Amino acid sequence: MKKLLLSLCMALALTACKDEQKASPQADKRPVVKIGVMLPLSGEMAEFGQNSLYAVEFAKEDHKNSPIKFDIVFEDDTFTPSRAAVIANKLISVDKVDAIVTSFSPVGSAVSPIADKAKVLHIGLSNAANIAEGELNFTNWQELDIAAKKLVDYLVSQNVKKVASFNMETVGNEEMRVKTNQFLDENGIEYEDFYFNPENRDFAMMVQKAVAFGADYWILNSFSPGQDILRKEMIEHKIDIPVVNIQCMKLSKNPQLFENQVFVDAPDGSKDFRERMSQKTTSKVLNIPAYAYDIVNLIMLANEDFYAKNGRVPNDYELADTLKKTKYYQGVVGELEVQNNGVIKSPSVVKKIINGQPVEIEE
């Protein structure tokens, strides 16, 4: 009897093992590439960070049948450079990522030298030139040359002869001012520059001087709150002069202030991309997640390209070399051109604030 019971137990155990083996998925034997993605998932920029997370997940989903298994490690940098530096070191030393993606210039600037020292490929969603320094650092956002030319081309189309330019004193805004003025000079448009520091809240004297200058348009080369305060003063004093800028307008805390005003910005992505994003968010500011998608997609495509030719995943230098040699990629924002200096060129578009939302318009 005992032998019979023992035999029955062994048979049941074997059956259970076989059932478990049948139920267990086959082990994934694909080589793994791990990408660390740093986003502001909390704090004042959380909306852009969360929407970018959705976009990165779309990119991963689009490569689910790849010969390479792509793992994404998300980290919340809170849009804080000091925190970003700590996270970058953690991604490199603990998570052993093969590439790092960052968003916005302050964070990208903090991570760039860390990635360069550790010899880890890094692509920053930014157009700050310093982020692309080093063999393994890249940037991807509308290039200032392209955006500034697009802005001045729009002014030329409006027969503008004189502009007043209000410039917040930061490195990024100074680069925008210099590039814009270069194209204003080339097109014979007269301009006068006004400067203020980011803490300035009193623009009365500056506004009076700009009115006296008699400009056809004002360029508000400033992020909020500077651009919002300036615009409020214009409305309060019934100064009916159109305003323009590069990308800042969409980040206003009060976009209704800029109703029917025009700015140059990065594209919001293809129709298919926008439709996918609409299932996740009601936000109309989709160019930041669109670029996040394209950056992660670029890393995945370059890995797959190298793997197809060599039968293995690339190291970071080989990955950077593949990106540069392939040179042209079709992104959801349009054609991307990877330059040897690490800057990834992409198009700019003209938008208008309509019902408080940025809308791409025909030029």
pLDDT at 229: 93
With a cut of 90, say whether residue 313 has pLDDT above it: yes
Q: What is the pLDDT of residues 118-132, one digit of tens each?
A: 999 999 999 888 899
CATH of 144-265, one of 3.40.50.1110, 3.40.190.10, 3.40.50.2300, 3.30.470.20: 3.40.50.2300
Q: What are phi and psi of 310, to 5 degrees?
A: -125, -10
Rounded to whole angstroms, how far apart are CA atoms 50 and 47?
Answer: 5
Domains 32-141+269-346 and 144-265 in one fold: yes
Q: Read off the tokens for 124.
A: 């920053």
pLDDT confidence band for 363 (50 / 70 / 90): low
159: left (phi over 0), alpha (psi -120 to 50) or beta: left
State whether residue 250 is helix, strand or coil.
Answer: helix
Please compute the mean of the pLDDT values over residues 240-264 and round it to a whole number: 93
Per-residue pLDDT at 61 exceeds 60:
yes
DSSP code of 160?
Answer: -
Summarised one tens digit per residue, pLDDT across range 176-190 is 999 999 999 999 999
User: Could you report the per-residue pLDDT of 2-36, keeping only the tens digit for each?
Assistant: 444 445 444 444 454 445 444 455 788 999 999 99
Q: Single out the residue of 357, 235, 348, 292 nearest to residue 51, CA to CA.
A: 292
Q: Identify the CATH homologous superfamily for domain 32-141+269-346.
A: Response regulator (3.40.50.2300)
pLDDT at 74: 98
- pTM here is 0.80
SS3 288: helix
Instruction: Name residue 36's beta-bridge partners.
Output: 73, 100
Q: Would you tell me how many other CB atoms lie within 10 Å of the CB of residue 18?
A: 10
Q: What residues contact 167, with CB distance under 8 A and at least 6 apart?
A: 173, 174, 177, 193, 194, 195, 196, 221, 222
Specify the pLDDT at position 353: 95
First-last CA distance in the chain = 91
Q: Which residues, 6+ apart, have CB-to-CB distance to 359 below 8 Å?
A: 284, 351, 352, 353
Q: What is the pLDDT of residues 100-151, one digit of tens each?
A: 999 988 899 999 999 999 999 999 999 888 899 999 999 999 888 899 999 9
Residue 329 has pLDDT above 50, yes or no: yes
DSSP class of 129: G
Domains in the chain: boundaries: 32-141+269-346, 144-265
Angle at 114 between CA 111 and CA 116, to 5 degrees: 105
Task: Say whether 265 sits in a helix, a strand or coil.
Answer: strand
Q: If you average pLDDT over every residue of the chain, what do you get?
A: 91
Q: What is the pLDDT of residue 25?
A: 55
Pairwise CA distance, residues 70 & 208, whole Å? 57
Give percent above pLDDT 70 in the chain. 92
